[in-house]
Amino acid sequence: MSGFTWERGPFTRCAKCDNPTMGILSAAGELLTKRCSDCRATVRIPLPELDKKAIYLDQFMFSMIFNVKNNGNLPKGHEAFAKEVYTLLRRCVLLQQVFLPHSDIHHDETTVFHSPIDLRGLYESFGGDVSLKDSRDVELLQDIQFAKAFFDGKEPEVSLDIDEIADGRRNEWLPDMHVGVRADYSQFEEHIRTVRGEVHDALKQLADTWLENKATFTGVLESEFSAIGPTKKQAFANWFEEVSNPDPSDPSALFESSGWPIHREYRELCYLLEERGVDEGRHAIEIMKFWHWDRQREIPHQKISSYLFAAVAKRVVMGEKKIVDRGLVNDVRTISTYAPYVDALFIDKRCAALLREEPLRADLDYKARIFSLSDPDEFLGYLREIEGQTPDEVREYAAMIYGVD
Ligand SMILES: [Zn+2]
């Protein structure tokens, strides 16, 4: 046999024509399609079911993988780790045991990376291309589940299953030839930098107040919790102000104001009340009551972020003002929204250390195992364990389709 064929190796004997020309035509989803390049006999083989683990890597790790792939600079002292983790992650993804989900937090940070398009391509080609719901939507999802309990006078129940927030293809076999969409988000770059700068300034001011008042962990935690209702009320008032007095020189502001998270939550809550036959005139009152409900503090994202900020405040008062940097808010958001759903979270050392402290260790409940550069071997061990647990049948198909041995 010579020349071009649509089928590719490994070739086996064809049952129909008996030639060794039965190759792989395609693999994706739940199906492997093999075809004979000689007589065109086609077989479709259902692939084994999968149960992939979600390993969330922070932006730093994705940049590192990018640099391993492109022979860029690796973090000092972690060169060997970078290469090994790259190989192991690649293996676990191709063995269909793991996916590395990406979120809006990555996308924001990627946009300000030096090669944003290539880095996005990495989520798709290297990570198995599963996106998570935006962090704001995850928060809203939990808020709504609590609101239902509040309006119905029931116990809150929040499902923290990964399928609540991951797109439905997480357990599909990866396509054997990956064609990624290369979106260009660079037009958002300036906006993201500005917003991040503003958030950082606000947090720095807060850090000054903590320092001045010699804030304690318990004090900050309590004030974070009791601020939930008033903060939502204020955000809503700000939104209302914006739509009521639009800047005539900026018509797009009005358009944008419908995307405010607080407005989205308010609207969702109105739907819930409508479904329950509550008179429209009472919606605002009921929503304010819900926002001031003392069980708001039990909503997973509220609880985790409040504990983290209280732990940060404690460090600031102890003299570690540097802990408040540009990345902190995104790190807190990543943990507080995604830690309850994913199997593992690789985050920066600072936040990993905070989560190990009491009372965070005892009081916070989330599914993810936390890893960081403080103990790189622990993460490598975790990946080797997953690798070793790959079922034989899956391993054989993965070898055939993706060439992973
Ligand atoms: Zn044949």
Query: Binning pLDDT at 50, 70 and 90, where does residue 125 land?
Result: confident
- Mean pLDDT value across residues 128-156: 92
Beta bridge partners of 36: 22
Check whether 186 has a pLDDT greater than 60. no
Distance 42 CA to ligand 1 centre (A): 8
Query: Binning pLDDT at 50, 70 and 90, where does residue 259 land?
Result: low
Distance 48 CA to ligand 1 centre (A): 25
The residue among 2, 36, 32, 34 whose CA lies nearest residue 16 is 36
Instruction: Give the residue carrying structure tokens 């004997």.
Output: 13
Q: What is the pLDDT of residue 8?
A: 86
Q: Are 47 and 32 in contact (CB under 8 A)?
A: yes
Measured at the CA of 121, the angle between CA 10 and CA 100, to 5 degrees, comes to: 80
Token pair listed for 309: 């900020």
Q: Are 36 and 17 in contact (CB under 8 A)?
A: yes
Q: Are 64 and 126 in contact (CB under 8 A)?
A: no
Distance 47 CA to ligand 1 centre (A): 22
Q: Residue 296 and residue 357: Cα distance in Å, rounded? A: 23
Distance 17 CA to ligand 1 centre (A): 4
Distance 18 CA to ligand 1 centre (A): 6
Check whether 345 has a pLDDT greater than 90. yes
Query: Binning pLDDT at 50, 70 and 90, where does residue 387 land?
Result: very high
Q: Residue 219 and residue 217: Cα distance in Å, rounded? A: 5
CA 32 to chain centre: 29
- Mean pLDDT value across residues 142-151: 96
Q: What is the pLDDT of residue 83?
A: 94
Distance 13 CA to ligand 1 centre (A): 8
Query: Binning pLDDT at 50, 70 and 90, where does residue 258 land?
Result: low
Rg (CA), the chain: 25
Mean pLDDT for the chain overall: 87
Strand order in the sheet with 98-99: 98-99, 53-57, 344-346, 369-371
3-state secondary structure of 300: helix
Check whether 5 has a pLDDT greater than 80. no
Distance 248 CA to ligand 1 centre (A): 71
Token pair listed for 213: 């008042």
How many Cβ atoms from other residues are within 10 Å of residue 349's Cβ? 11
Distance 394 CA to ligand 1 centre (A): 26
Residue type, 351: C
Check whether 79 has a pLDDT greater than 50. yes
Strand order in the sheet with 42-46: 8-12, 22-28, 31-36, 42-46
Alpha helices in 163-299 (DSSP H): 189-212, 217-226, 228-244, 251-257, 261-275, 283-291
Measured at the CA of 302, the angle between CA 300 and CA 304, to 5 degrees, comes to: 65
Q: Residue 85 and residue 386: Cα distance in Å, rounded? A: 13
* 161 compared with 244, residue with greater pLDDT: 161
Q: What is the pLDDT of residue 138?
A: 93
Distance 393 CA to ligand 1 centre (A): 25
Q: Residue 172 and residue 401: Cα distance in Å, rounded? A: 14
CA 52 to chain centre: 15
Q: Is 71 left (phi over 0), alpha (psi -120 to 50) or beta?
A: left
Q: Are 160 and 133 in contact (CB under 8 A)?
A: no
Strands 31-36 and 22-28, by their bridges, are: antiparallel
Largest CA distance in the chain: 84
How many Cβ atoms from other residues are within 10 Å of residue 350's Cβ? 18
Strands 22-28 and 8-12, by their bridges, are: antiparallel
Check whether 183 has a pLDDT greater than 60. no
Check whether 149 has a pLDDT greater than 90. yes
Q: What is the pLDDT of residue 180?
A: 41
CA 320 to chain centre: 28
Distance 35 CA to ligand 1 centre (A): 8
Q: What is the pLDDT of residue 248?
A: 67
Please state, in angstroms and as integers, the Cα–Cα distance from residue 45 to each residue in 30, 32, 170, 338, 394, following that order.
9, 5, 20, 35, 13
Check whether 197 has a pLDDT greater than 90. no
Q: Residue 305 and residue 143: Cα distance in Å, rounded? A: 14
Kindly state the helix (H) or strand (E) to which residue 174 belongs, with its residue range: none
